[in-house]
Structure 1
Amino acid sequence: MGLPLIEDEADIRWITLDRPEIRNALRVEDLDHITSAVRSAGPEVRAIVLTGSGDRAFSAGMHTDTFAGATPAAARESITRVRECVGAVRLSPLPTIALLNGFCIGAGFELALACDLRVAHPEVRFGLPEIRLGIPSVVDAALLHHYVGLSKAKEIILTGDLYPLADFSHTGLANRVVAPAELRETAVDLATRLGAHTAEVTAAQKGLFETWLNHGLQHGIDTSVDVFAELFEHPATLRAIDDYRPAPR
């Protein structure tokens, strides 16, 4: 138990946070390991699934000693590595799925928000308790209001409380909610479906999501026209069009 486990099973890369004795709390070296595992995925990998060891937690976030006694320079260095790790997940050209098997807190919650999809069981609890430590929620906590609305995001961040998944049932925060025994099978099914498309179109579509999030409407529309046309440079696009058959009704 220690650094995240990296395992390639078929065409899925599994990244398992592996400190179950501390609810898979993250240390700085874990962040670098996750970043490397995401960025080093070769063409044989079609999707990435992140999860946590055991049955108690996806992740409790950064270990509480990470920022103890830190200087501003040291705090900036640590949080920059959080940003790099979470950003690697969000910006990966591959589809990413968070398999949430328990507490999903702090930087662990940010990792889950950075993933494209989330699979959870009904007892998962979420929270951003940083404010209770005298520090703000940052990095991909900036995405939270897109999932749950600004008012609820402010409540979650400003209280630092933990919230049951049921509080987000109307938001789609979890794409699939299943029994604990069904989590892995559900994640594999989603990863297989997402990974079945051409690598080129998945990367392009994910890039457009970033454009739509970060720029205005007209810029997003204009960029999407360019991206659409550029995909026709790839033989894989033309093959996919030739091979496409509508699903039977």
Structure 2
Amino acid sequence: MTSYITVRRETHARGPVAIVSIDNPTKLNSLSSEVMGHFVEAFRGLAADPDLRAVVLTGAGDRAFIGGANIDEMAELASPEAARVFILKVHGCCRAIRDLAVPVIAAVNGWCLGAGLEIAAACDMRLAAETAVFGMPEVRLGLPSVVEAALLPSLIGWGRTRRILLTGETFSAADARAWGLVEEIHPPALLFAAVEDLLDKLLEAEPQAVRIQKALIRAWEDLPVTGAVAAGVDAFEQAWRTDEPATSMARFLAQRAAAKRG
């Protein structure tokens, strides 16, 4: 059985990074049930690695990040119950990303449609090629945009969310950056150099602090302000259960003192 998911580990000076690729370019890296099963399995394996520092998610080839859910499979769904089972698999992929303890960077290198955009929205950060094209075309296929499309209003605002979900129109990488969906856009040949630059910045931070911070950001999404503040107090206390704060601040103070002497 072909998994259509490749996981490559890279060793950096401050810890390992995983590059996860949806590898089905002849189908625009679309998400079938088989692909989604292997996707969740791959992220389950990554979640078990206590030393992992970050994940980069991309699509194989230069045509697509993820072109959407597999339309051939959806067209054969025979009942509402089967439809529910299928869409829960899409949600399972998004949840695997959001529940992973370390940051996930989406490197959007082509078409990013439907379930692909939901996957991208579930990532912690998004960089895109200037040639990438985004959209939520489900309404043109008789379907609503669902599951992690619910993240879009917090990223691009309610007005733009309504427009792209209700019209199904596509939009450019430049629009995606202007709206706040992606943080950076680059020429295709430079996209992964920009990803490496972002990884370098992430790896400068302390690993346990980053894990605590990601978990706290996730909690903030579901909490009212007072609850979010309280969760932050808990997270600050949690950080002190490791030696990272003391070690990091001692190193900082020593470096500052050395700079003053110099």
What's the CA shift for 1:168?
3.1
Give the ranges of 4+ consecutive aligned residues of structure 1 lying more than 3 Å apart after TM superposition. none
Whether the aligned pair in 1 keeps the contact of 2:177 and 2:185 (CA below 8 Å) is no
The answer to whether residue 39 in structure 2 is matched with residue 34 in structure 1 is yes
Compare 189-198 and 16-25 and name the one that shifted more.
189-198
Task: Identify the structure with bigger relative contact order (alpha carbons < 8 Å, sequence gap 6+).
Answer: 1
Asked if structure 2 preserves the Cα contact closer than 8 Å seen for 1:7 and 1:13, the reply is yes
Unmatched runs of 5 consecutive residues or more in structure 1: none
Greater mean alpha carbon deviation, residues 36-45 or residues 51-60: 36-45
Equivalent residue number for residue 66 of structure 1? 73
Structure index of larger Rg:
2
Aligned to 1:4: 5
**CA separation in 1, counterparts of 2:109 and 2:218?**
27
Whole-angstrom CA distance in 2 between matches of 1:60 and 1:159? 18
Q: Say what the alpha-carbon RMSD is for the aligned residues.
A: 1.7
* Residue 84 of structure 1: aligned partner: 92
2:100 maps to a residue whose letter is S
Residues 130-145 of structure 1: pairs in structure 2 closer than 5 A:
130-145=138-153
Aligned residue pairs: how many?
Answer: 247
* TM-fit CA distance, 1:97: 0.4
Deviations 1:30-68 (CA, angstroms, capped at 9, x unpaired)? 112222222322133211001111111111111102222
Unaligned ranges ≥5, structure 2: none
Distance 1:77 1:144, change over 3 A: same
Once the two structures are superposed, the pairs formed by residues 16-165 of structure 1 within 5 Å of their partners are 16-41=21-46, 42-70=49-77, 71-165=79-173
TM (normalized to structure 1)? 0.93
SS in 1 for 2:240: helix
TM-score, scaled to structure 2:
0.89
Bigger proportion of residues as helix: 2
What percent of counterpart residues are identical?
35
Q: 2:3, 2:140 → 1: CA distance?
A: 27
Q: Deviations over 1:165-224 (max 9, x none)?
A: 222332332212111111111112212321332332112111111221111111101111
- Find the aligned partners of 1:23 and 1:186 in 2 and give their Cα distance: 23
Q: Secondary structure at the match of 1:61?
A: coil
